Structure 1
């Protein structure tokens, strides 16, 4: 941790008019039981006050906030033969990533204890949760109104709100983030001064204020607008999108193209989409006078599926990021994390995202469809191109979508025909209609004279339990999804 930042933080905390419910000053009182109780109380109080962290400082006089120095050494202090920090860690529940740091401002030595605010549950010491009220540290259960307030304030950890770079200068922020792309994509005029730029970036939580006129760049800001993800921690850099194209239909074939994106998702999305479109295979059709190239895969489907992979990935899975693989007969788009809804219900249920702020901002920038409509359009475009149905699957700790190249009805597998029938029934239902034999013939490219083939697919889909007759009393009324 940067000592200059810690000194600036100490100066900012000393400038407070008095101790608060999330800041406490100490001289040389190092009683471990006191420290444990304060950790619990300060963490819970910081949550109520909307602070990210709480602090205890040794070497600061309580009344005047003058630096008087301290002899306290948290690294050497032991409790019953156990190192203080390990002793504390074993007695705080849930586990809390507190940290002791030593700073040496000119006036004397200061020990800083930083305690993250409570998130998933109240922080307890020896199974008792405490709260800070004035200078007192009572049990949280003795103040039910504070307990209710704490529960209301606690939110689960949001990766987007984490910090990718601490204590950055204004110049570093402008160099690390492609702020011009942010203003262009959000359709805002670029301010003519730095203060205006920082105000807008802060409003969208791409940066947050640190101490000493410095800034923290959030994970959200970095993953969307990094000029180069490699400038951040390796765990963030590995979230970059990777593209690999093979010369055949499996990974044993030679690699023809490889592209590891260096930009943040928003800053590099248009370039990635253009790169993919240039590589995707195309058919040539001769028109009245000119040859026209038509893509084998719907561009809208590719764009939406890539955007979904970025939005819905589990950012807490380390060492992995979104991957796009192009084979001779298909495209596979994979992202870390199992889906939050069942794969066969992705098309109709409202999407659930682990990264709601990321998703909202990407939709605002027009990088994906409005919530709940994206996959509908993917399936609809696949039907227009008369492609085999996409395959949505959860594989280990990842989610994968496979988009297949053109194949005739005769070349589709029985499973693909059933899946196409189910998706077609879903689209019809979502548009207020019902699937019928004739509409399925059109979807699968079956000649109406061979409608019995569509009937066979419908019967197999009924047997699989994916669709049902809309009105048992009128079997010709059509079919709807099993959940309708």
Structure 2
């Protein structure tokens, strides 16, 4: 990462002006022991999280008491541990991995090295499986300070992903280059201000950016994940782009096409949906003597499920992001993280989101539905199109929702029919209605003469405990049914 000499000199002056005992900054002369550096990275990263700083700093060539420049002989770019480069060795022994970078600066009074260290995000940073913290001006094992350890974990639990910093210490020009601010305004139906000061005021008001202690700008995760011009410009977020994969046939043996989204979720959403739309299979139908091609999956369902995968993902799971996989007979939408509500209660549970600021903004610009209505619409759409019911699977810290290609009632497996019956009962229940033989026939597109088929299905669904009679004493021909949990 390139930083100008002017920026580094400004940063150094800001750090030297700090009080003597500052938990997120440590000054050294020539101490270049790799073991000590690794422990300080752990301690400073954890302390930065504890006191609410986005970064911490370890600086060589500064006298600890006076903060005067004394110069250093330490050359991190030339330092090795055994046969391994110092930076690579440190990174290997840190867990979880965080971003840190060495800057070497020449001054009139001697060489200075600044190590910029990212704050701990979701758990304490360990070096060689030991966690450290700064107590006053001393580096201590975190395990010896149980109260601080408990408070640190509470901070991790309370600090939303959106408020953390994606990129720190950038100037105004870089902010405008890294964020698609024109999309920020256009998605809200507002003209782009001609004055950059007004642009920055709006971005700050929505917590997309913040002014930091060295007079520069921090771009928050919220700003980056929504409006990044290129997500790969943010190291912590580049694996969070949406991947779309098309396979040949029903399995994953042959990949026909694979693409990864480059833009932020808000600025790139419509393009993503259009890209998926162009890849999905179509059926040819005749309407008023004209042949038309229609998507085999309802467009609204696809849109809702992709938006849900984005909004409800667990950003603490690194190295993985939302994924859309298209097969011959189905479409799978997967996101990192397990649901916060029981999958059987998706239709009626009060909405819960890990990423409320993200969800709120996407609702504001029309990407997401209003709170809690998204999955209801997915189920309603599959019923309108008389498709097999969508399924939700949870495994290995991921949630996968599957839409299935058209299949006639007679070709559905019994399990599929029972699941469709259950979801129909849930949908009716949230609409203050009940499942009946007639409503279920309509859901499957069956004729009145096929009433007995539906009666048998209802009986099966009751037997396995998916639905139950609303009033068991009602005459069979007038019987109404509700979900098992109602």
Name the TM tier (shorter chain): 0.7 to 0.9
Aligned counterparts, 1:36-435, within 5 A: 42-62=44-64, 64-72=66-74, 97=98, 99=100, 101-107=102-108, 108-120=110-122, 130-133=133-136, 135=137, 149-155=151-157, 168-209=170-211, 215-229=217-231, 236=238, 239-242=241-244, 244=246, 261-277=261-277, 280-281=282-283, 283-286=285-288, 296-313=296-313, 316=317, 318=319, 321-325=322-326, 327=328, 330-337=329-336, 339-340=338-339, 343-350=343-350, 353=353, 355-394=355-394, 398-435=398-435
Output the CA distance in 2 between the equivalents of 1:243 and 1:34. 45
Change (3 A) 1:167 1:120: closer
Check conservation: 2:239, 2:321, Cα contact below 8 A.
no
Shift of the alpha carbon at 1:444?
A: 1.9
The count of residues paired between Structure 1 and Structure 2 equals 476
Output the CA distance in 2 between the equivalents of 1:242 and 1:460. 38
Q: Match of 1:461?
A: 461
Shift of the alpha carbon at 1:443?
A: 1.7
TM-score, structure 2 length as denominator? 0.77
Check conservation: 2:241, 2:260, Cα contact below 8 A.
no
Shift of the alpha carbon at 1:109?
A: 1.8
Change (3 A) 1:91 1:408: closer
Check conservation: 1:102, 1:109, Cα contact below 8 A.
no
Q: Which segment drifts farther, 369-378 or 405-414?
A: 405-414
**What SS does structure 1 have at the residue aligned with 2:23?**
coil
Where in structure 1 are there 5+ consecutive unaligned residues? none
**What SS does structure 1 have at the residue aligned with 2:18?**
coil
Output the CA distance in 2 between the equivalents of 1:234 and 1:142. 30
Check conservation: 1:238, 1:321, Cα contact below 8 A.
yes
Output the CA distance in 2 between the equivalents of 1:58 and 1:150. 28
**What SS does structure 2 have at the residue aligned with 1:105?**
strand
**What SS does structure 2 have at the residue aligned with 1:154?**
helix
Q: Which segment drifts farther, 264-273 or 21-30?
A: 21-30
Shift of the alpha carbon at 1:469?
A: 3.1
Output the CA distance in 2 between the equivalents of 1:375 and 1:122. 36
Change (3 A) 1:466 1:359: same
Output the CA distance in 2 between the equivalents of 1:186 and 1:83. 48
Output the CA distance in 2 between the equivalents of 1:273 and 1:28. 55
**What SS does structure 1 have at the residue aligned with 2:304?**
helix
Where in structure 2 are there 5+ consecutive unaligned residues? none
**What SS does structure 1 have at the residue aligned with 2:107?**
coil
Shift of the alpha carbon at 1:10?
A: 2.0
Output the CA distance in 2 between the equivalents of 1:85 and 1:261. 30
Q: Match of 1:24?
A: 26
Change (3 A) 1:394 1:44: closer
Q: Match of 1:12?
A: 14
Deviations 1:256-305 (A, max 9, x none): x8766443332232233345556644533218xx8887655432212111
Shift of the alpha carbon at 1:424?
A: 0.6
Shift of the alpha carbon at 1:457?
A: 0.7
